Amino acid sequence: MDVLTNEILYQKTPQELTALLYEGLISNLEEAVDLIDQKDFIRTNKKLQKANDILHRLGVGIKYEAGPIAEQLDTLYNFMASQIIKANIHKDKQGVQNVIKMIQPIASAWNEILKKKTHNQSSFAKKATAYENSIMRTTY
């Protein structure tokens, strides 16, 4: 993940920040798998702790008004967090890979929705601009 400045982060929408959190989560988990292979358990521990911190932040951002899916997502995040803790204790590469397999489809779906939303918004913005331009021409 590229280094992000505070200025860039403040310009992101909550949905874009969620996408960045998913990216960071997957990145930390993949790095932890590599570090387990290298038997660098101190750095593995730090990566897995960071992954759990990201999961916690994702959980805090859940809007429970969304209904049952929000509660299910919260339960899934908690399950993944417990799996990461177990994998960290035992330095279990397979346990980390299982969490990666769980989070990747969610992250992919989120990014797909984000792309569609961005496309729809830009389409709407073009139509609104065209409408505003036509109004401006007819009033003068």
Phi-psi label, residue 40: left if phi above 0, alpha if psi -120 to 50, beta otherwise: beta
Q: What is the mean pLDDT of residues 116-137?
A: 56
Instruction: Tell me the fold of 13-139.
Output: Four Helix Bundle (Hemerythrin (Met), subunit A) (1.20.120)
DSSP string spanning 110-140?
HHHHHHHHHHHHHHHHHHHHHHHHHHHHHH-
Q: What is the pLDDT of residue 140?
A: 45
Q: What is the pLDDT of residues 10-53, one digit of tens each?
A: 888 999 999 999 999 999 999 999 999 999 999 999 999 999 99
Using the predicted structure, report yes or no on whether residue 72 has a pLDDT greater than 60. Answer: yes
Q: What is the pLDDT confidence band of residue 87, given thresholds at 50, 70 and 90?
A: very high
Give the start-to-end residue ranges of the domains of the chain. 13-139
